[in-house]
Structure 1
Amino acid sequence: MSTFLTPQQLASRTSAAVDAAVAAGRVLGLTVTDPTVLHDVFSVVVHLAPSPVVARIPTVLPHPDDLATLARRQQDELDVTRWLAAQGVPVIAPSPLVPREPVQRDGFSMTFWSFVPEDRDKEPDYVANAESVADLHAAMRTYPGQLEFLGAADPRFIAESLARLDHYPTLIGAAELDRARREWQILEPLVRSRTAFEARFPGIDLQPIHGDSPPANIFSGVDGDLYADFELVTLGPVEWDLAALGPEHESAYNRGARRNGTRPLNEEVLGFVNALGMLRVVATLTLVPQLPELMEYLKPAVDHWQTMPFAGGMNS
């Protein structure tokens, strides 16, 4: 059983991430006198005030020591968001004040973004956001760079986590773990192989997608909404970006797709991505020792997963 980090250890990790970002920012020529933490869950997000730059430092990771793989994903995010911004798409863009590449310091790998003041009085409208994701997908279709197929699902993380969860009996029961492993046997080949996916879902086009529930990652700036947090940007079916959000959000997306002339969501692919997304939730239980507060969010999702069709109906 892994030891859960204490509040003091969590605070120390945050402090170390902030110190690393401040030091890296100063080396890059930024004036930093009043660093302010804006967000601290999976990543520490710190405004390097008074510079108009925000550093994002991932701290809760499946493989904390594998900074090279993390940096490759971060470079994808920087490249995609810079390209989208150049096309006039409303995104939080990489900071133009520093090189647009990940920076590694003191055991962290971080990226730097333009500071955007937040409209804290605006309540998010996730249904409207889901409709607007169809516009984001339309814009991303012509991105010229190379992206990994369904890298956002992180099959390595799922496989390793399902193999290790025997050691976490307080987080998941034996019957639930058995179900997850049996579902993974069915779903894994379709995640690992683009060829297998395309054979199973003929006619379903693949394209660059956000990768991490974009309806929940639209930032309310004082001058308007901005797409944000492309950390899991990937190549995949558009359905992945609507996984586990439910019929109301799916219908909203389809309205947006009809409006901009792109395809609606496919029910069979939705079953696949919903099941796959839930296995990723189960896998995330292995991160609870790094962030104990995660459990209060994951437990309801795991309970809901047990009411869903086995493997999204893919077992036939």
Structure 2
Amino acid sequence: MQIVFSTEGLDARHSFKRWREALEVQKANVDLRHLDDAPFEAKVENSAIGPLLVTRMSQSALRTEVRKFGAWRQGREGMATAAFKLAGTSNSFQDGRDAVLSTGDLYILDKRPMVLTTSAGAQVLFVELPRERLESVLGSTRHYTALRIGAELGSTSLARTFFEELVRLGDRLAPEAADRMASVGVDLIVASIAERLAKDVPQPLHGTVVVQRAKTFVEANLGDPTLGPSQLAAAVGVSLRRLQELFSEHGQHISDWIWQRRLEAAAKRLIDPGVRHLPIGTLAYGCGFASQAHFARRFKAQYGKTPSEYRTESLLKAS
């Protein structure tokens, strides 16, 4: 990771001022309060892994209130943030929720007003990830920002360990491999949030969470050609009729959504340089299509091109 800010070597009398100035460059409306009398220390390191920006931050005891986000780097406006607590404790407040967080916990933040309070020696690994990817499976981020996703969950521990290793080894990955690993990491974070939401969701949100769990299950089992509405209902523990009702409340049909996700996954693989050597039929089977002919018909109806034409055009554009 590359160091983008550090108070190391600065006169301790001016370190907090320098930190404030570094944030002011982002043109955000932020109120900062140093919470103890010890010299202020902070360090920020960045690493780009595929489309994801990963930031490791350590700092002294501090209260940070963000009233309004400023100008963001071009292309990052559609990103939310997953935060893994690596050391220390903190308190996160956003969208009416207040989470007390300890080492190993995960929480989600979005670009809306928030308050973060950290203990001395706190260290966090921030991962910017596409908001659209989160919301396509889990619904609006307002349902789970500042929600403690505990270290005791196996999925949280796995996601944290994955990103710590990804940061350590990221500079060894070819660009195509980095993109694939970033996608795997996002899926792990989505699975962690889904598991947490399923534990103790308020009743008004229960239907939403069932749909979120169903969509997470579909993402993990797209390659299973037998996956359909009945199997999905059994997997999430509700009747088929109830699951159909819940999907209808979201303006969707179960079968249509499954096929849509299969087509989107196949389209992504068709333009992935890392798997360009694989036959189209192999990619189709891997996305749950029972035959190449069936895949070709559905794909052309969706994208207006045959899979072969779609792949060829993408390769020509990339060359």
Q: Is this a same-fold pair by TM over 0.5? A: no
Please tell me whether Structure 1 or Structure 2 has the larger radius of gyration of its CA atoms: 2
Looking at secondary structure, tell me which structure has more strand per residue.
2
User: Normalised by the size of structure 1, how large is the TM-score?
Assistant: 0.31
